[in-house]
């Protein structure tokens, strides 16, 4: 097996699962993506667009990268600690 390919595939699956979990929690807490994105990405020019770009892949099949800064904003918006 090619380790790099396997790692990339597994990390990609982890990211998809993480985003799906965040998505579910955001809807539970805020009821819609607009309220969640304003709380999490309020400093962005287009908060809803920022979350949409992370959540939904573009036409080329790739979503926007999820950075640690994004996770910090998301954890604060959902009132969930990053550490367990």
Maximum alpha-carbon separation in the chain:
44
First-last CA distance in the chain? 33
CA atoms within a 13 Å half-sphere pointing along the CA-CB vector of 82: 9
pLDDT at 84 over 60: no
- What is the pLDDT confidence band of residue 81, given thresholds at 50, 70 and 90? confident
Q: At what angle do helices 47-55 and 33-40 cross, to 10 degrees?
A: 110
Q: Is the pLDDT of residue 1 over 50?
A: no
When computed from its CA atoms, the radius of gyration of the chain, rounded to whole angstroms, is: 14
pLDDT tens-digit series, residues 28-78: 999 999 999 999 999 999 999 999 998 887 777 777 888 889 999 999 999
Give the residue from 54, 67, 73, 59 showing the smallest Cα distance to 16. 54
């Amino acid at each position: 097996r090619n380790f790099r390919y396997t790692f990339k595939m597994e990390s990609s699956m982890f990211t998809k699962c993480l985003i799906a979990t965040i998505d579910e929690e955001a809807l539970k807490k805020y009821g819609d993506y607009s309220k969640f994105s304003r709380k999490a990405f309020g400093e962005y020019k287009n908060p809803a667009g920022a979350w949409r770009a992370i959540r939904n892949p573009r036409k080329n099949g790739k979503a926007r990268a999820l950075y640690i800064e994004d996770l910090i904003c998301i954890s604060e918006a959902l009132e969930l600690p990053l550490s367990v």
